[in-house]
């Protein structure tokens, strides 16, 4: 999973900025309760007076205070005198004032009023509160508009709150911008890396991974990673910052109540974890059951004819029903487990508020904290709890994403087993196209037995070499070795005397016109599919080739002709038509070697025969290699090779083989009914 982060490198700088922005956001978010507590404490309770130091004071009063201050604090005080007239002195209280100075001043103020007995053994908070009430009294004497003072303070603080909330939303939106760009960009990079990687794979890698799994890895798994990148940027960084920041501020307000938050978090996590550990394994089971449900339904659909022919509709319904019941029961269990979560979480959060008020009110009464601080504390507590909830959700999501990450890395770290050599042999301009197998042995990756053993033959230009044998005898395997879809395990294959492993793969393949066993067409039109063989082909080329491949008739019948749209996998044309289009595609290529891997099976005998005759005319001078099931298809080949269990058991012409090869005779008999 971590390995995937290297694809995010181009986004390192924006992500660092995002972290900075998140830090800013957390701070602004957390400052809000603080401002609110100021409104309550200072604005309402203290009438808008922040410090127990008046901004203006009668000179007579000031003298009394100065008397009660020690030298250091006296100097401090004198430093912040702004100006004075005969009656009163103005003091600058907007600058930075040390806590000690504030308390000392407050004490001095109280002592100057001969109220020393009030503060004996009292908490600093109480001293400040009394100091503030003295300031208020002083202001009243001086005739200052107390209402204006109070409302100005509230408006000022409110304005700050608005500013903070604006900064917060700007940060959040910017982080969202960076996060989504990073997530989508990282996903794009990973997706294209995988795709390029898979395109470089040989058939061996496709066998080990399976096509379906490669598709999911390139699609769903990448989407998972994209989501998780976004989540990491948005939540994994934000939540701890919020939690820690909230905790620090909460402790600043009331260190003695920290345990309440700790307790709530522990209870909450215990509940989330235990609910999840009950539900999680069931999630997996649900997935299995959904797969099972799909399987049963798919079996029913693919076997519709059989189901109806044997009157087993009821049986199929029951089969579906039993999985459906299992699935429903499991889903019900999960839902019922999960519905406990929300009410319990709400209860814990509300319970926490109540507990804070209860414990907090005792503290307030003792003068350890103010009411506004308690209210702020509740909000910090909620933010801390939220951050833990966010994190626990991330940890529910992460394991799933890390599975996806692992699957992606597996693909990226796999190297194609077939690679070009560093220095490849160039092919001469004019090649003959002679293919020679010398003692070729081949074993599929992970296979236990050799699929081919010591195969030797020469396929000469101007001749047809045909392979026949039962399923699994290795016919297709042989022809798949020629374009290097797999590499031989031992022995060698040469093209005009050059070992094909010394050639560049693309050069090698450009000399081969290949018709695979599975006739895959790509979505597009008939024309685009044919041009896949040669993108520079002209209309005349197309016309000429489809006449050879016996496709012209059905193409002519389509209204759109060559522009007839082909759906994905070519499902909208019949098997026989698909086969003929695949043959045309290969013929479009000006190759030296043509390989037909069981390419005539879906054709009826007549079409098959005509096609072969046309082929003889158009590519008779090339090397032709045919794999076939039917004897009829190949009986005129110059060379027929009979395979059994990966070994050559007969080699020669039809006539020769009928004399010498018992396997061939067996096949010919069963198909042609020729007893002679």
Partner 1 sequence: MSQENDIRKQNKPKMGMGMGMGPGHGRGMSGEKAKNFKGTMSRLAGYMSKYKIKIIVVIFFAISSTASMIIGPKIMGNATTTLFTGLLQKLKGSGEIDFKLISYLLAGTLMLYLISALFSYIMGWIMTSVSTDITYRLRKDISHKMNKIPLNYYDKTNHGQILSRITNDVDTVNQTLSQSMTQIITSIFTVIGVMVMMLSINWMMTLAAFVILPLSMGLVGKIIKQSQKYFKEQQASIGNANGHIEEMYGGHLVMKAFNGEDASIEKFETFNDSLYKSAWKSQFLSGMMMPIMTFVGNIGYVLISILGGYLAIKKAISVGDIQAFIQYVRNFNQPIGQLANISNVLQQTAAAAERVFEFLDIEQEISETKTPVENINSKGEVEFKNVHFGYNPNTPVIKNFSAKVAPGTKVAIVGPTGAGKTTIVKLLMRFYDVNSGEILVDGNNIQNFTRNELRNNFAMVLQDAWLYNSTIMENIRYGNPNATDQQVIEAAKAAHADHFIHTLPDGYNMILNEETSNISQGQKQLITIARAILANPKILILDEATSSVDTRTEGLIQNAMDNLMENRTSFVIAHRLSTIRNADLILVMKDGDIIEQGTHNQLLEMSGFYSELYLSQFDKIN
Residues numbered 550-589 forming contacts with partner 1, rule: CB under 8 A: 568-569, 571, 574, 576, 582, 585, 589
- Whether 452 contacts 474, CB under 8 Å: yes
Partners of residue 525 on adjacent β-strands = 565
Please, which of residues 112-141 interact with partner 1 by CB under 8 A?
A: 129-130, 133
Nearest distance from residue 406's CB to partner 1, in Å?
19
The residue within the footprint of partner 1, chosen from 1, 267, 271, 344 (CB under 8 A), is: 344
For Cα atoms 632, 635, 637, give the angle at the middle one, nearest 5 degrees. Answer: 135
Nearest distance from residue 146's CB to partner 1, in Å?
9
Which part of the chain contacts partner 1 (CB under 8 A), choosing from 56-64, 109-117, 389-397, 450-458? 389-397
Angle between helices 146-200 and 220-231 (to 10 degrees): 150
Spatial distance between the Cα atoms of 447 and 174, rounded to a whole number of angstroms: 54
The residue within the footprint of partner 1, chosen from 1, 19, 24, 32 (CB under 8 A), is: 32
Spatial distance between the Cα atoms of 239 and 397, rounded to a whole number of angstroms: 15
Closer residue to partner 1 (CB): 456 or 567 = 567
Going residue by residue from 256 to 295, which x/- string records binding to partner 1, judged by CB under 8 A?
----------------------------------x--xxx
Please, which of residues 630-669 interact with partner 1 by CB under 8 A?
A: 630, 632, 635-636, 666-667
CA-based nearest residue to 268, from 356, 354, 388 = 388
Contacts of 501 (CB under 8 A, 6+ apart): 421, 484, 487, 492
- Whether 485 contacts 203, CB under 8 Å: yes
Closer residue to partner 1 (CB): 84 or 523 = 523
Is residue 361 close enough to count as binding partner 1 by CB under 8 A? yes
The residue within the footprint of partner 1, chosen from 252, 315, 406, 543 (CB under 8 A), is: 315
Nearest distance from residue 96's CB to partner 1, in Å?
25
Please, which of residues 169-188 interact with partner 1 by CB under 8 A?
A: 169, 172-173, 176-177, 179-181, 183-185, 187-188
Please, which of residues 466-505 interact with partner 1 by CB under 8 A?
A: 469-473, 480, 483, 485
The string of DSSP letters for 525-583 reads EHHHHHHTS-TT--HHHHHHHHHHTT-HHHHHHSTTGGG-EE-GGGTTS-HHHHHHHHH
The residue within the footprint of partner 1, chosen from 8, 21, 30, 39 (CB under 8 A), is: 39
Which part of the chain contacts partner 1 (CB under 8 A), choosing from 28-36, 76-84, 402-410, 539-547? 28-36
Contacts of 196 (CB under 8 A, 6+ apart): none
Please, which of residues 235-254 interact with partner 1 by CB under 8 A?
A: none
Closer residue to partner 1 (CB): 38 or 107 = 38
Look-up of token digits 């006296």: 74
Is residue 148 close enough to count as binding partner 1 by CB under 8 A? no
577-595 in b/e burial notation, b at 16+ Cβ within 10 A?
Answer: bbbbbbbbbbbbbebbbbb
Nearest distance from residue 612's CB to partner 1, in Å?
7
Nearest distance from residue 59's CB to partner 1, in Å?
29
Strands (E) across 5-123 are located at: 56-58, 81-84, 88-91
Nearest distance from residue 144's CB to partner 1, in Å?
15
Nearest distance from residue 227's CB to partner 1, in Å?
7
Cα radius of gyration (the chain): 42
The 8-class DSSP code of residue 515 comes to E
The residue within the footprint of partner 1, chosen from 256, 335, 456, 490 (CB under 8 A), is: 335
Going residue by residue from 590 to 629, which x/- string records binding to partner 1, judged by CB under 8 A?
-----------xxxxxxxxxx-xx---------------x
Contacts of 324 (CB under 8 A, 6+ apart): 293
Token digits for 207? Answer: 């066998």
Nearest distance from residue 259's CB to partner 1, in Å?
18
Nearest distance from residue 51's CB to partner 1, in Å?
17
CA-based nearest residue to 597, from 475, 493, 489, 488 = 475
Q: How many residues bind partner 1 (CB under 8 A)?
A: 175
Spatial distance between the Cα atoms of 91 and 42, rounded to a whole number of angstroms: 19
Nearest distance from residue 88's CB to partner 1, in Å?
26
């Amino acid at each position: 999973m971590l390995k995937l982060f290297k694809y995010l490198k181009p986004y390192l700088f924006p992500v660092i900025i995002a972290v900075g922005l998140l830090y800013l956001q957390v701070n602004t978010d957390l400052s809000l309760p603080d401002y609110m507590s100021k409104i309550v404490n200072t604005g309402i309770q203290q009438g808008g007076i922040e410090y127990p130091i008046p901004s203006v004071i009668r000179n007579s009063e000031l003298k009394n205070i100065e008397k009660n201050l020690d030298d250091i604090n006296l100097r401090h005080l004198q430093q912040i005198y702004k100006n004075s007239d005969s009656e009163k002195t103005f003091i600058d209280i907007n600058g930075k004032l040390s806590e000690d100075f504030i308390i000392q001043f407050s004490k001095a103020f109280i002592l100057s009023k001969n109220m020393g007995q009030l503060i004996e053994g009292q908490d600093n908070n109480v001293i400040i509160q009394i100091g503030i009430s003295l300031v208020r009294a002083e202001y009243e004497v001086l005739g200052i508009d107390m209402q204006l003072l109070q409302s100005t303070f509230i408006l000022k603080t409110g304005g700050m709150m608005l500013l903070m909330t604006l900064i917060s939303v700007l940060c959040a939106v910017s982080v969202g911008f960076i996060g989504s760009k990073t997530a989508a960009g990282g996903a794009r990079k990973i997706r294209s890396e995988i795709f390029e990687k898979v395109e470089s794979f040989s058939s061996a890698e496709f066998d080990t991974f399976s096509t379906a799994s490669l598709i999911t890895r390139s699609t769903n798994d990448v989407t998972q990673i994209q989501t998780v990148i976004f989540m990491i940027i948005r939540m994994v960084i934000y939540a701890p910052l919020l939690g820690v920041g909230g905790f620090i501020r909460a402790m600043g307000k009331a260190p003695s109540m920290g345990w309440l938050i700790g307790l709530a978090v522990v209870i909450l996590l215990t509940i989330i974890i235990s609910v999840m550990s009950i539900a999680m394994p069931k999630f997996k089971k649900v997935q299995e059951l959904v797969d099972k449900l799909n399987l049963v339904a798919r079996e029913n659909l693919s076997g519709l004819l059989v189901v109806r022919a044997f009157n087993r509709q009821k049986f199929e319904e029951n089969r579906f029903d039993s999985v459906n019941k299992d699935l429903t029961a499991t889903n019900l269990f999960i839902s019922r487990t999960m519905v406990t979560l929300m009410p319990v979480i709400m209860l814990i959060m509300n319970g926490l508020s109540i507990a804070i008020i209860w414990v907090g009110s005792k503290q307030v009464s003792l003068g350890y904290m103010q009411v506004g601080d308690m209210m702020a504390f509740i909000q910090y507590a909620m933010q801390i709890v939220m951050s833990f909830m966010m994190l626990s959700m991330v940890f529910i999501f992460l394991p799933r994403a890390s599975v996806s990450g692992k699957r992606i890395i597996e693909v990226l770290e796999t190297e194609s087993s077939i690679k070009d050599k560093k220095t490849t042999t160039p092919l001469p301009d004019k090649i003959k196209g002679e293919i020679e197998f010398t003692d070729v042995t081949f074993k599929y990756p992970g296979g236990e037995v050799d699929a081919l053993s010591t195969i030797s033959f020469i396929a000469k230009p101007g001749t047809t070499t045909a392979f026949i044998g039962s399923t699994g005898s290795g016919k297709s395997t042989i022809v798949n070795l020629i374009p290097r879809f797999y590499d031989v395990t031992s022995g060698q294959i040469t093209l005009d005397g050059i070992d094909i492993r010394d050639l560049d793969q693309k050069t090698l393949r450009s000399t081969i016109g290949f018709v695979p066993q599975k006739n895959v067409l790509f979505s597009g039109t008939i024309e685009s599919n044919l041009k896949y063989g040669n993108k520079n082909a002209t209309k005349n080329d197309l016309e000429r080739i489809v006449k050879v491949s016996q496709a012209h008739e059905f193409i002519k019948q389509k209204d759109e002709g060559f522009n007839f749209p082909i759906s994905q996998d070519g499902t909208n044309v019949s098997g026989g038509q698909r086969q003929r289009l695949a043959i045309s595609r290969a013929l479009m290529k000006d190759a030296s070697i043509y390989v037909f891997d069981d390419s005539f099976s879906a054709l009826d005998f007549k079409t098959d025969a005509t096609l072969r005759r046309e082929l003889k005319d158009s590519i008779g001078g090339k090397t032709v290699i045919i794999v076939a099931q039917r004897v009829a298809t190949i009986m005129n080949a110059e060379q027929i090779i009979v395979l059994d269990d990966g070994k050559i058991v007969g080699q020669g012409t039809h006539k020769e083989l009928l004399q010498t090869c018992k396997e061939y005779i067996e096949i010919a008999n069963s198909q042609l009914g020729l007893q002679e």
